[in-house]
Amino acid sequence: MDTITQAAQKRAIADPFSPRAFTFIDLFAGIGGLRLGFQGIGGHCVFTSEWDRFAQQTYQLNFRDNHELAGDIREYSADPTLIPDHDVLLAGFPCQPFSIAGVSKKNALGRPHGFLCDTQGTLFYDTAEIIRAKRPAAFVLENVKNLERHDGGNTFRTIMNVLENELNYQVTARVISSEAWVPQKRERIFIVGFREPTDFDIRKLKLPDPAAGPKLGSILQPHEEVDAKYTLTPRLWEYLQAYKAKHAGKGNGFGYSLFGPDQVARTLSARYYKDGSEILIDQPGKRPRRLTPLECARLMGFETESRSFRLHGSDTQAYRQFGNSVVVPVVEFIADAMKPYIEAAVVGDDARGRAAA
């Protein structure tokens, strides 16, 4: 029996029939991409917040929980006592524009300067309020790559200042692209923090070689299994070709992208349901087609040979949900790397609790 399992049994943090190593909460949960990674290393989810009702339905279809799904996170950041204590906080918070006109002199000097002022009105503020109130041993935040460059870098500097200087966490961040795990180039920033000093540094993780990653053929369904409705109509295909030709004449690369089975796709977006133009699958002798929802589930790493993911609702909702999600194998990689450090934090909290008693 390993140390982390012993700690789980001592603390009885889950039901007695299914002990788990640590507890976590899943904020801005979407359809559970972050959860899958940390559930996979033994975590037990004790609280979930997701405001979109369609994403909630898909989440509930795939996760059997002992808690109801919460909606708007602002109700809970206003009163964090409504959220159970937990070891790890997960949050794929949306990147709304931050209401800051620049970096203050204090921020430039690396001094705390009050996130209530600099980030209020954003959903990062709500995340930070929960971290401040609940003091989890660790957190993982996920966002778009552009977070680092937003407002000339001011947004990211403000976020890091809040996490490091005001909330007093040891924080590292890194943009990771997904093509080493799935046939899609999807770059996202992951921000990892630990409450107590640790040697964990996400920037130092050795990533798999992207050149050795899978190609689209590994996730595509056989032609005979793909419904004809996913093939573009003549009118839409004509429009997309004309649109691309018009912009090519202006010297830019706007327009559709066509991929074959030996290639790696662009980023799947939440707008994919509109025309599928960012990832069209070549069908020699025929008009190209969109990815099917099942192929999107595979492209995002939700559906694998060892894991089935159930879809709920229309194709439109499936495309939106996958386009807004994280690539699960990337999260699993980060979770695996964090596991011994979470273990040490959990055991350390147990020891401090016993000493205080």
pLDDT, tens digit (0-9, with 9 covering 90-100), for 216-232: 999 999 999 999 999 99
Do residues 295 and 170 share a domain?
no
CATH number for the domain that contains residue 308:
3.90.120.10
Q: What is the pLDDT of residue 153?
A: 85
The pLDDT tens digits of the residues spanning 8-47 come to 444 333 333 334 489 999 999 999 999 999 999 999 999 9
pLDDT tens, position by position, 264-295: 999 999 999 999 999 999 999 999 999 999 99
CA distances from 179 to 128, 262, 337 (A): 31, 13, 18
Distances (CA, A) of 348 to 34, 140, 341, 345: 24, 19, 10, 5
CA distances from 216 to 169, 194, 208, 213 (A): 40, 37, 18, 10
pLDDT tens per residue across span 298-311: 999 999 999 999 98
Query: What pLDDT was estimated at residue 149?
Result: 84
Q: Are residues 271 and 334 both part of a single domain?
A: no
Same domain, 173 and 237: no
7, pLDDT greater than 60: no
Whether residue 120 sits in one domain with residue 10: yes
What was the pLDDT predicted at 352?
62
Q: Which residue has the higher pLDDT, 228 or 101?
A: 228
Looking at every residue in the chain, the average pLDDT score rounds to 86
27: three-class secondary structure by DSSP? strand
Is residue 95 annotated as a catalytic residue, yes or no? yes
Q: Are residues 269 and 203 in the same domain?
A: no
Q: Which residues pair with 173 in a beta bridge?
A: 191
- Same-domain pairing of 20 and 75: yes
Do 94 and 238 lie in a common domain? no
Closest-CA residue to 183 (of 292, 274, 318, 301): 301
Assess whether pLDDT exceeds 70 at residue 340.
yes
Do 276 and 251 sit in the same domain of this protein? yes
CA dist., res. 317 & res. 336, Å (int): 30
Q: State percent of the chain over pLDDT 90.
A: 71
- In degrees rounded to 5, what are phi and psi of residue 144? -70, 155
In a shared domain, residues 318 and 339: no
pLDDT, mean of residues 164-169: 95
Domain of 337, in residue numbers: 3-210+327-356
List of E strands, the chain: 22-27, 43-49, 88-91, 138-144, 170-177, 187-194, 258-259, 280-281
Q: Are residues 234 and 129 in the same domain?
A: no
**Domain match, 233 and 331 both:** no
pLDDT of amino acid 356: 59
Catalytic residue from among 45, 95, 117, 296 = 95
170 & 274 share domain: no
**Token output for 94:** 């949306």
- Burial, 245: exposed, middle or buried (Cβ in 10 Å; 0-12, 13-18, 19+)? exposed
Query: What pLDDT shows up at residue 33?
Result: 97
pLDDT score, position 351? 54
The domain that contains 14 carries what CATH number?
3.40.50.150
Q: Which H/E stretch holds residue 111?
A: none
Residues ≥6 apart with Cβ < 8 Å to 112:
106, 161, 165, 166
pLDDT value at position 353? 59
Q: How many structural domains comprise the chain?
A: 2
